[in-house]
Structure 1
Amino acid sequence: MTDAPLPDDAQRIGLDLVAPEIYGPVLRRLASIALALALVVGVIAGFLFGPLVGLVAALVVAVPAVGYALAVPRRRLWLRGTSITARTLLGTRSLDIAAVTGVELLVYPGRLSRLVLRLTAGPDRQVVPLAMYTDAGSGRELHLLGLRRLADALVRSDLPAALGVADLLVHQLRAEARDAPLPQRPLYRAVTLTRAKDYVAPIVLTDQEIATLY
């Protein structure tokens, strides 16, 4: 990391853990199946209860699936300098990491455990996915450049929690640089730490727990 000022035209870095392009074709197939199912349901309901009921039944089946298939590929997350921007179906929102009032690491335990960074700036909040792991010991982690730029942005904050998370990401980068196995990587250790607690709800890691991960 470096403390040099970030330029205004800093490179835009994607922070999507899984790029929408990867699962876009699958979502389109699911949307096609949902439309076919909606047609069948609508015809049957219309035959039994009338055209209006058939139309409503078809919409109930089709609209959620098609809406989800359209919304997910549009969702993107990127970082430029210290500004993190999220795009959804309804628009975009941005948050300045240098001005955050809260920084938390959360683990969503389960067969597919997820580790996310939650940033808060006044009433605004943004979640950044960092990694996900299966019980079998495989998973996916945010790419190296994303981790590096995120760490660089976090050190611009005055919050001790932000600096602690930045140090964690730097140690993760070092572990990946030497091709360390998962048990030696801080992000994976964060997930395994919470598995011992046997919780179902999301777990917020304390500053002390974060410090033990690297």
Structure 2
Amino acid sequence: MVDGESGRSQAVGIDLVAPEVFAPMLRRLALAALGIGIGAALLSAVWLSWPYAILLGLVVAVPTLGYVFAFRRRRMWLSGSVISAHRLFGERTVDLAAATGVQLLVFPGRLSRIVLKVTAGPDTQLVPLAMYTDAGSGRELHPLGLRKLADALAASELAAGAAVSEILVHQLRAEARDAALGERPLYRGVQLVRAKDSVSSVVLSDQEVAQLL
């Protein structure tokens, strides 16, 4: 019984693209920024004093190094019904069980994203669920993450939470049978917004969410 409860509350990563995927590229970017910064400092030392030359090198290198550090730190986890989002400074937690709003939000474009928007009191958290290109390829949140989100939303007292949970369950079934994109609810949600030729983010209405099933 204890093992079962521990398994249910175990934290699961829900990043659409885990930072580890970009780790080699980020290392190269950090080394390149460091090299350019050192080069700028050495070159400027020809006509500037060393303190100013070093300062110039830091101005060149630090923004990129800071971006790399911030990107590597960004992670999202789901433990039970609680989403924990790690940022550069601190951590935000949102409890799906206490959610006051649950929506599906689509960001259209050449690379369109569909995300889960959760509001709990003054806090709002976006959880990317999938992204699709115009060419019909893309990336979807891994099955375990979808399953845990569906379970947590199903326990919500909100009708919208139950509706989105059902969408995620249908998405899981479509992925399990390797269905075509047109049969996957998340992709159909993106297509609904693309058909509107919208250039800004769009919240799917209750009627549109129902159409995805």
Aligned residue pairs, count: 209
Give the match for residue 18 of structure 2.
19
- Residue of structure 1 in register with 2:66 after alignment: 67
Aligned counterpart, 1:114: 113
Distance in 1 between the 2:179 and 2:80 partners? 29
* CA-atom RMSD in angstroms: 1.9
CA contact (8 A) 1:133 1:139 kept: yes
Specify every segment of 5 or more residues in structure 2 that has no aligned partner in the other structure, as ranges. none
2-side partners of 1:46 and 1:139: how far apart?
48
Q: Quickly say closer, same or farther: Cα 1:198–1:43, change in 2 above 3 A.
A: farther
TM superposition shift of 1:93: 2.3
Rounded to whole Å, the distance in 2 between the matches of 1:56 and 1:72 is 24
AA paired with 2:196? K
What residue ranges of structure 1 are gaps of 5+ in the alignment?
1-5
Equivalent position amino acid for 1:66 in 2: L
Q: Secondary structure at the match of 2:9?
A: coil
Match of 1:126?
Answer: 125
TM-score, normalization: structure 2? 0.90
Q: Distance in 1 between matches of 2:88 and 2:47?
A: 36
Q: Which amino acid aligns with 1:91?
A: G
Q: Percent identity?
A: 57
1:75-90 counterparts in 2 under 5 A?
75-90=74-89
Q: What residue is the counterpart of 1:212 in the other structure? A: 211
Is the aligned partner of 1:185 residue 2:184? yes
Write the deviation string for residues 164-204 of structure 1: whole angstroms up to 9, x where unpaired.
11111111111112211111101111111111222222111
State the Cα distance separating 1:45 from its structure 2 match: 4.0
Q: TM-score normalised to the size of structure 1?
A: 0.90
Aligned partners of 2:41 and 2:150: how far apart in 1?
52
| Greater displacement, 152-161 / 52-61 | 52-61
